[in-house]
Every structure is written in C-alpha cells, then in structure tokens.
Amino acid sequence: MQKWSQRSSPKNKSKEEFLATKQITVLEHPVYSPDLAPSDFYLFPKIKEILKGRHFDDIDDIRSNTMAALKAIPQNKFQNYFEVWTGR
C-alpha cells in the first residue's frame, strides 16, 4: 500500500521541481506538531504586533529592532504566559 503525504502529491512535485531549478533548499518540518513552543502562540505574535508596518534597512536593523521589541515585553507578562501554558 502506498502512503500519501503532501510531499508526494503531484501538485507538490511541480513545486519541488521549480524550487530545485532555482536552487532553493526545502527544509523538512512536521505536518502537525502538538509540541509547538509557547513562543509560537505568544512571543512571535507579540513581536509582530510591535514591528508591524515598519521597514528595515538591513539585517542589523532587523536584529536590533527585534531585540528592542523583545525587551519591550514586560518580563512578568512573559512569565505569566508560560505559567498558564504549563498549567494546561
């Protein structure tokens, strides 16, 4: 019996071929992971909210603004979120 997955579907084969012609590396990831980090649900959306609508000149500008966004999140809010998450 043949297993079906998104990666083996005909539609994705053409995507894979296109990416290969452009020499783009495709990274493997699980289709679904119940072990998503709390940062996926709290930290990243919070950073996106802070940086929304801004434009950056280079990678150093992105890095420094992202660090400033992280530091702008009060430690107690971040800790409270982890406590709620671990209590589920």
- The number of domains in the chain is 1
Q: For residue range 15-65, list pLDDT tens digits in order.
A: 878 888 888 887 776 666 666 666 667 788 888 999 999 999 999 999 999
In this predicted structure, the answer to whether residue 6 has a pLDDT above a threshold of 70 is no
Burial bucket for residue 22 (CB in 10 Å: 0-12, 13-18, 19+): exposed
Query: Is residue 71 in some structural domain?
Result: yes
Query: Is residue 37 in some structural domain?
Result: yes
Q: Residue with structure tokens 């452009």?
A: 22
Query: Is residue 63 in some structural domain?
Result: yes
Structure tokens at 12: 């994705």
Domain that includes residue 43, residue range = 6-86
CB atoms within 10 A of CB 66: 14
Query: Is residue 1 in some structural domain?
Result: no
pTM of the model: 0.51
Using pLDDT thresholds of 50, 70 and 90, give the confidence band for residue 1.
very low
Query: Is residue 59 in some structural domain?
Result: yes
What is the pLDDT at residue 51?
A: 93
In this predicted structure, the answer to whether residue 74 has a pLDDT above a threshold of 90 is no
